[in-house]
Amino acid sequence: MTTTIDGARIARDIRARVAERVAETAACGRVPGLATILVGDDPASAVYVAAKRRAIREAGMRDFHRHLSRHASGDEVAAVIDELAADPDVSGILLQLPLPAQLDAATLIDRIPAAKDVDGLTTASAGRLARGERGLRPCTPSGVIELLDAEGIELRGACVAVVGWGELVGRPLAQLLLRRGATVTVAHEFTADLAAVTRPADIVVVATGVRGLVGPEHVKPGATVIDVGIHRTPEGLTGDVRAAELDGIASRITPVPGGVGPMTIAMLMVNTLRAAEWNAVPKTVPA
């Protein structure tokens, strides 16, 4: 029998714990705050930013939002980032991607100080992750790790296949898993025989952006399958995995929607709280 991993419930629990902690820090006069920056009018980005802002407010944190015109120049966006970086009430800064074509995302992302990089996407945060130093980790891969932990799935010594080597998900996830003692194999678009890589794995994580890529031919009986992909179709949201075909084969599987997606927002809340705690300066100078 295949169990569906309830990412929505696990995410709700995490968000409730964050809200409790926020209430405690607020009682000490410090309220964490997230600044979201949206450039342009991409409808999907607007929906994602609205969901993040709603979650921030629900957690009791402060919601700082900036909406810039789709014609904004690099200097204008940089000035907004610099202003938020200097604001002690702003714990974290999130620059919603993708950006309009005239803007260089990598340069602007790197303008966010690592201490406020709640998306974990700056070069500094990536370097800290690679070296195992304290830092803010990208939300989706850390959400995958939280899901596996919440399900009580042992990572140390587990054989994990990560399908997809993208900067947002696959690459940081492989590093997080290695740090947890898993044996990690990474497959990508040039992998000659995907099934040969994924079939030995105890855990298969798929983050490729290729709808329905992984099916029963790729998964050994009893394995756990985590589907990171999100595709909007006329029938609703679906993932990179043919989930129905894995029923009775996988031991556990994440649904789309309701699996990894809610975890991404929950981990953004965790990162904002963490950034606020790490950046906290004493309100008074100790005697």
Ligand X SMILES: NC(=O)c1ccc[n+]([C@@H]2O[C@H](COP(=O)([O-])OP(=O)(O)OC[C@H]3O[C@@H](n4cnc5c(N)ncnc54)[C@H](O)[C@@H]3O)[C@@H](O)[C@H]2O)c1
The answer to whether the beta carbons of residues 37 and 82 sit under 8 Å apart is no
283 is a catalytic site residue: no
DSSP state of 241: B
Give the C-alpha separation, 253 to 265, whole Å.
20
Q: Of 85 and 237, which CB lies nearer to ligand X in the complex structure?
A: 237
Smallest separation (angstroms) from ligand X to the CB of 143: 7
The catalytic position among 96, 116, 175, 227 is 96
Smallest separation (angstroms) from ligand X to the CB of 214: 9
Residue 164 labelled as part of a binding site: yes
Closest residue to ligand X, judged by C-beta, is 166
Smallest separation (angstroms) from ligand X to the CB of 241: 11
Q: Of 64 and 165, which CB lies nearer to ligand X in the complex structure?
A: 165
Return the amino acid letter for 254: T
Residue 93 labelled as part of a binding site: no
Binding stretches for ligand X (CB under 6 A): 140, 163-170, 187-189, 191, 194, 207-210, 213, 228-230, 240, 260-261, 264
SS3 letters across 66-118: EEECCCCCHHHHHHHHHHHHHCCCCCEEEECCCCCCCCCHHHHHCCCCHHHEC
The catalytic position among 119, 202, 227, 240 is 119
Give the C-alpha separation, 274 to 277, whole Å.
5
The catalytic position among 6, 13, 41, 52 is 52
By three-state DSSP, how is residue 33 classified?
Answer: strand
119 is a catalytic site residue: yes
Q: Of 4 and 279, which CB lies nearer to ligand X in the complex structure?
A: 4
Return the amino acid letter for 81: I
The answer to whether the beta carbons of residues 153 and 224 sit under 8 Å apart is yes
Smallest separation (angstroms) from ligand X to the CB of 210: 5
Residue 120 labelled as part of a binding site: no
Residue 230 labelled as part of a binding site: yes
Q: What are the residue numbers of the active site?
A: 52, 96, 119
